Amino acid sequence: MRQFHFLDATDRAQLFHKEPVELHRDDSLDLLAHGLGATLYIPATRDELAADVLRMAARGATSCVLCLEDAIPDGAVEYAVNHLAQQLATLYTPEGRADLPLIFVRVRSSDQPARLLGLMGEAAAVIDGFVLPKFSAAGGHEYLDAVTDCERTLGRRLMMMPVIETPEVMYHESRIDELLGIRDLLAAHADRVLAVRIGATDMASVFALRRPRDLTIYDVRLIASAVTDVVNVLGRPGGHAVTGPVWEYFTAPDRIFKPQLRESPFARKDDRDLRARLLAHNLDGLIREVLLDRANGLIGKTVIHPSHVPVVHALAVVTHEEHDDALGVLSAKEGGGGVARSSYRNKMNEANPHLAWARQLMLRADVFGVAAPEATFVDLLAAATDEDRA
């Protein structure tokens, strides 16, 4: 797998100072966590599920979650499990396939991983891991044990992504004890926990809320405070990657607030049409939330529509200035530390305080590449959303 694999060599040479590396399913969890990017959730009942997975991968999605939980009506669970097994089996080849994204299954109960693998036989090789919903300190061990048993059966690593979304995490008086319990529970499985996901929709439901399309998740203070504590307890350096909560809107028929995208970056690139398309699909809100995710220590994003993927990935490309700053920090640290003016002459870089940031940024630079000095988000998004290519 490689981010922006669909661009031709000429486009890549123009857009990237350093191109994305190729990812493999047995790479380190740190590298793969950064490579998740926009994780596309797809209901397991989709008629042409296998074709959808291939189509989205061809358009740039590098990870997807096939959902057997909240996306499925209660009365359709049995059908969904069998349908999912049949569809995924069509993606299997004994020698493996390079055109598949990372494939995860969001199960509804702890018995479903073994059930699904039993239905699929050797074709279960296409499953990279499981998303574990409503994960809690009290009941999470059932999911962890179930996936561990499946690993023994398959004889290979199955990655896990627990979802933090229960009332115990939302209620102020129980939150920290619950998160500490989850941290202790995950500690024994750290070599297989790819990332911790945040279930913002379920979090909001605890208080009968739904985030409006004109606001980011960080404007909903009840959820924002929980996200902060999840990162604080579970996402510290040396802990787990924590992914950005779902963006659930994809059109914007009416607006209360002004658009959140300045016109000038698009005007300079003579691409006002791209800005108009982003605004029409409410993607200016997504752009703002992704930037706030990153500022708050989150990696990647849960998305529910193909139009979200290129936006998240274009924003994930490391700018030439960021990369230069990180290199300066790492070089200064090797030289004994201290502070220096950035090569762009617009900020100071301190070797010690900025070191952890620089190391994290280098992982993202490996996965998503480094933009050429003159390339902007507008250039990257225009290339990724080329309608002729799509």
Cα within 13 Å of Cα(156), Cβ side: 11
Beta strands 348-350 and 339-341 are antiparallel
- Establish if 8 belongs to a structural domain: no
247 and 273 share one domain: yes
In a domain, 4, yes or no: no
Contact 49, 64 (CB under 8 A): no
Question: Is residue 140 in some structural domain?
Answer: yes
What is the pLDDT, as a whole number, of residue 257? 61
The per-residue pLDDT string of the chain (390 residues; one tens digit each, 9 = 90 and over) reads 899 999 999 999 999 999 999 999 999 999 999 999 999 999 999 999 999 999 999 999 999 999 999 999 999 999 999 999 999 999 999 998 889 999 999 999 999 999 999 999 999 999 999 999 999 999 999 999 999 999 999 999 999 999 999 999 999 999 999 999 999 999 999 999 999 999 999 999 999 999 888 889 999 999 999 999 999 999 998 899 999 999 998 776 565 566 566 666 666 655 667 766 666 566 788 989 999 999 999 999 999 999 899 999 999 999 999 999 999 999 888 878 788 887 887 888 888 999 999 999 999 999 999 999 999 888 888 888 874 444
Distance CA 150, CA 118 (A): 10
CB-CB contact of 204 with 168 (8 Å): no
385 belongs to a structural domain: no
329 belongs to a structural domain: yes
What is the C-alpha to C-alpha distance for residues 51 and 56, in angstroms, rounded to an integer?
A: 9
Residues 192 and 232 in one domain: yes
Residues 168-213 pLDDT 10s: 999 999 999 999 999 999 999 999 999 999 999 999 999 999 988 8
Q: Are residues 201 and 345 in the same domain?
A: no
Which residues touch 257 (CB under 8 Å, ≥6 apart)?
A: 214
* Residues 244, 137 share a domain: yes
Has residue 6 been placed in a domain? no
222 and 331 assigned to the same domain: no
Asked, for residue 270, whether it belongs to a domain, the answer is yes
Contacts 24+ apart (CB under 8 A), 136-143: 136/166, 136/168, 136/178, 136/181, 136/182, 137/168, 137/177, 137/178, 137/180, 137/181, 137/182, 137/184, 137/185, 138/181, 140/182, 140/185, 140/186, 141/185, 142/110, 143/107, 143/110
Q: What is the pLDDT of residue 227?
A: 97
Position 254 scores a pLDDT of: 65
* Alpha-carbon gap, residue 259 to 279, rounded angstroms: 7
The CATH number given to whatever domain includes residue 74 is: 3.20.20.60
Give strand ranges (E) for the chain: 16-18, 38-43, 63-67, 102-106, 129-132, 159-164, 197-198, 243-247, 299-303, 339-341, 348-350, 370-371
Pair (168, 220) in one structural domain: yes
One domain, residues 307 and 350:
no
- Residue 243 CA, distance from chain mean position: 5
58/60 Cα distance (integer angstroms)? 6
Q: What's the pLDDT tens digit per position in 257-289?
A: 665 666 666 666 556 677 666 665 667 889 899
Domain check: are 159 and 255 in the same one? yes
Cα dist from 141 to 109, 162, 235, 268, 360, whole Å:
12, 11, 20, 54, 30
Determine the pLDDT at residue 347: 87
Domain range for 43 = 24-316
Q: With 0-12 CB in 10 A as exposed, 13-18 as middle and 19+ as buried, what is 119?
A: middle
Measure the CA–CA gap between 113 and 153, rounded to whole angstroms. 11
- Considering the domain architecture, whether residues 84 and 51 belong to the same structural domain is answered as yes
Pairing between β-strand 159-164 and β-strand 197-198 as defined by DSSP bridges: parallel
Domain count for the chain? 2
Same domain, 292 and 257: yes
305 and 337 together in one domain: no
Per the structure block, which two tokens stand in for 74? 């209660």
Closest by CA position to 126, among listed 93, 157, 86, 155: 93
Q: Within a domain: residue 387?
A: no
Regarding whether 240 and 187 lie in a shared domain, the answer is: yes
Which tens digits make up the pLDDT trace of 367-388? 999 999 999 888 888 888 874 4
Residues 6+ apart with CB under 8 A from 263: 272, 275
